[in-house]
Chain A
Amino acid sequence: MTDVGEGFPHLPEPVESEIGTGPAYRESWSQFSGLLYRELVKTYRNPWIIAITVIQPFMWLAFFGSSFSGAGCAIVLPLTNYVTCNYIQFLLGGVLATSMLTIGMFGSMSMIQDKRFGYLKRVLITPTRRSSVFLAKSVGATTRGLIQFPVMIVAAFAFGVRFSISPLEWMGWVVALFFLGLGFSSLYLTITARSTDWQTPGVLSNLITMPLMFTSTALFPAVNFPWWMQDISKVNPVTYAALFGRNLALFGTANWEYLGFLAIFATVMVALGALVYSRWLKVE
């Protein structure tokens, strides 16, 4: 055992906590960035998480996208609303959007883990605001989800999809997925704000993923939907992220108003989550 007897460190200069002395945004940024770093570095050190995050949508694209490859243009063309015979090209935007739906589950699971291991208590016995804790988890989960974007683009290329997209439009696509992911991560975190049960995020994911996926236009165009499903698809954020990507993949055109809709969705969800966390978060 090391001797801890003598010689307490004498400080070269005083280290005063600057809480309450500087501008509030700087404090919050310091806390938020520290927590976000933790989220990201933990992912980076766990290659399995990255592998599974990437493999899951890839399998979607490969298996579901290829299921019509033997069917010929006569069947695929009407499925894609007479736009393309390559179903994968049609599906890519939808799969990327749908996979951002589930990443919220991991964010909320890791929050529950922090509750159960007491880490949240450690964080909250510092001047960190609960809303910063929430935002770091939400942004962390979303960033983690975006890892799959470049991989999916390369995979689609390998399946014969060709892109003619400007750098700004590429960026727009990433931002659209970021907004969608941020919105749903926030939703998951908000619903599980008072939960300490590992199973809650999984159950929640089972509940909302399927309906959101099928009532969006991620897999099929809305023209063949009944009227009530068309109505739902119009307010379903997944639709807008899917369409933004699809229009880029098919025609190389960006619908910036869809991006605006996704920004509003993300803002509302983040604001709601920050409010719920600052008022009703259960710490342990």
Chain B
Amino acid sequence: MSDAIEVHHLTQRYGSFTALRDVDLSVRQGEIFGLLGPNGAGKTTLIKVLTGLVPPSEGSASIAGLDVVAQERRVKARVGWVASEVILDDDLSAMENLWIQARLQNLTNWKERARDLLQYLGLQDRADWRVSKFSTGMRKKLEVALALLHEPSVIFMDEPTIGLDAATRRMLWDLIRNIHREYGVTVLLTTHYIEEADALCERVAVIDLGRIIRTGTPSELKAQLGIDVIEIETVGVLDPGPLRAIEGVQDVRVDGHRWTFKVREAEEVLPRILAAIPTRELRRVNVERPSLETVFLELTGRRLGGDETPVDFRKFYGQLLRTRR
């Protein structure tokens, strides 16, 4: 079986601005895959190409083995899309929005499924409400229902939780996990929230300035950094010599009673360290593992959404021009 999403040497240009540079990507069937990167990294552009909305300037992409250019309409019949800004027709009811989606996807037996989806999402009593009366959380759910109506094999979620409050975000995370589990649908989501990628995604691609910098599971990416930090506080003052010699310890710093160990795998090294220190000497132990945030920082040299992000003025200007339209 072919991969759910395959991308080869994809480059996307808008005039003189290059939004994606030589992107390679493959997402397996039934995977939750995250594209992690700051605003303007090229995440939305990649989704536009993969949903057949714009043809790529160079390279190729396919969904479930179907080429996004040559078989554009068949691709579109197999993908669902949840926008970052909620896009629904406010003048119509939830059911009418679903009806139009069914017409656009040329579905015949859609009504029962639409009712089931509304039931599942807790919107069954609001089926005939105008969408203008919906809360943001309800709108988001309805968008998910629209995306699932035609049983797509891949769902694209572009910054699905942007602008949502904490409770709604949790609700959406649960929803994404559940539809993925129950439904076996492949999910590609973009986010600039590290914790979102960490919480939801089986694999993550870190994207910045139109390039994919690294791909792997969240723990693989963290492991590539190779450094866990173990902090130990002791009662007395110990000889650092034997502790430095423990296998797997890369660096030890001592500050009176406080010890900081940089190690490769905390799970393996911690028992050895604890065995080398008499139990009565131990006061406190703390293990710190790198977050995806640290990984991102390490890979790009910049903090996600941080103020110290260096500004690429040419790109900034390009974005400005696009936003003005």
Contact = CB atoms under 8 A, between A and B. Distances in A.
A125 B73 CA distance: 9
B145 to A, nearest CB: 11
A70 interface: no
Interface in A6-23: 6-9, 11-20, 22
Given A31-B104, A35-B100, A126-B104, A17 B77 contact: yes
Nearest to A28: B106
B87 A27 contact: no
Contacts of B112: 11-12
> How many interface residues does chain A have, given as a range?
35 or more
A112 to B, nearest CB: 11
A7 B120 contact: yes
B25 interface: no
Contacts of B76: 19, 125-127
Interface stretch (A38-46, A169-177, A216-224): A38-46
A124 B121 CA distance: 25
B179 A127 contact: no
B105 A17 contact: yes
A279 interface: no
A19 B116 contact: no
Interface stretch (A115-123, A137-145, A154-162, A239-247): A115-123
Contacts of B141: 4
B74 A41 contact: no
A37 B100 contact: yes
A16 B73 CA distance: 15
A125 B107 contact: no
Given A17-B150, A19-B73, A38-B92, A127 B87 contact: no
Contacts of A30: 103-104, 106
A8 B120 contact: yes
Residue from B76, B103, B123, B325 whose CB has the most chain A CB atoms within 10 Å? B103
Contacts, number: 136
Contacts of B106: 17-19, 22, 26-27, 30-31, 127
Interface residues of B, number: 55
A9 B103 contact: no
B189 to A, nearest CB: 15
Interface in B90-105: 91-92, 96, 99-105
A33 B103 contact: yes
A3 B77 contact: no
A283 B53 contact: yes
A17 B107 contact: yes
Nearest to A196: B325
Contact of A14 (B54, B85, B151, B171): B151
Contacts of B182: 8
Given A4-B122, A17-B77, A37-B100, A121 B83 contact: yes
Given A8-B182, A11-B116, A123 B104 contact: yes
B290 interface: no
Contact of A125 (B79, B85, B89): B79
Contact of A9 (B79, B102, B119): B119
A2 interface: yes
A216 B174 CA distance: 64
Given A5-B178, A18-B106, A38-B100, A124 B53 contact: yes
Contacts of A128: 104
A150 interface: no
A207 interface: no
A118 B54 CA distance: 15
Contacts of B51: 125
**4 smallest A-B Cβ distances: which pairs?**
A34-B103, A2-B122, A9-B116, A8-B182
26 contacts: A1-B137, A2-B121, A4-B121, A4-B178, A8-B120, A9-B117, A9-B120, A15-B107, A17-B78, A17-B150, A18-B108, A19-B77, A20-B77, A22-B106, A26-B106, A27-B106, A41-B91, A118-B83, A125-B51, A126-B101, A127-B73, A127-B76, A127-B77, A127-B104, A128-B104, A196-B325
Interface of B: 51-54, 73-74, 76-79, 81, 83, 85, 87, 89, 91-92, 96, 99-110, 112-113, 116-117, 119-123, 137, 141, 146, 149-151, 167-168, 171, 174-175, 178-179, 182-183, 325
